[in-house]
Amino acid sequence: MSEPIHIEHDVAADDYQLAGAASNNVKETLKMLGLSSSICRRAAIITYEAEMNLVIHGGGGRIAANIDQESVEIMAVDRGPGIPNVELAIQEGFTTAGDRAREMGFGAGMGLPNIKRNADIFEIDTEVGAGTTVRTVIYFQHGQ
């Protein structure tokens, strides 16, 4: 591809019906661009986990993806409650998910660890009361 590609989707809070649609869109775009199945898979996992966190914890927000020659950057931005203790939040098993999310199969406290595992760069910028930004980058050449 010659031009960088930018995709953006709004994600609604607590909408379990529509949740995942944005991620599927991002994934379909990456596939269409001819990226390898392993890159598409990693990007899909990151995007979907980040989207579900927007739905469940972040009060909704926005999913964005930037694709260029070398990498795909995926960002999830919200103006929700923020994460008081990031160290704790990225540990496997830590969750504050409520009953509704658990009934749907979420709340294992595995989302952020999954994101981290699949990303070459993983950054969380968060402030209590102001919101959370999760930024990840996958490099095409590292990650097969």
Which spans of this chain sit near other proteins (rule: CB under 8 A)? 16-17, 19-21, 23-24, 27, 37, 41, 44-45, 47-49, 52, 103-106, 108-111, 113-114, 117
Give the residue with the Cβ less far from ligand ATP, 55 or 72. Answer: 55
Q: Which residues touch 43 (CB under 8 Å, ≥6 apart)?
A: 26, 27, 30, 35, 65, 72, 74, 118, 138
Spell out, one character per residue from 20 to 59, where the chain touches Mg ion: x when CB under 5 A holds, - when not: ---------------------------------x------
Nearest to 104 by CA among 52, 61, 68: 52
Shortest spacing between CB 97 and Mg ion, in angstroms:
7
23: contact with ligand ATP by CB under 6 A: no
Instruction: Identify what 9 binds: other proteins, Mg ion, ligand ATP, none; CB under 5 to 8 Å per kind.
Output: none
Q: Which residues touch 143 (CB under 8 Å, ≥6 apart)?
A: 38, 39, 42, 120
Q: For 58, list phi and psi in degrees, rounded to 5.
A: -90, 0
Q: Of residues 104-133, which lie at the interface with ligand ATP (CB under 6 A)?
A: 106-113, 132
Q: Is residue 90 within 8 Å of 50, Cβ to Cβ?
A: no
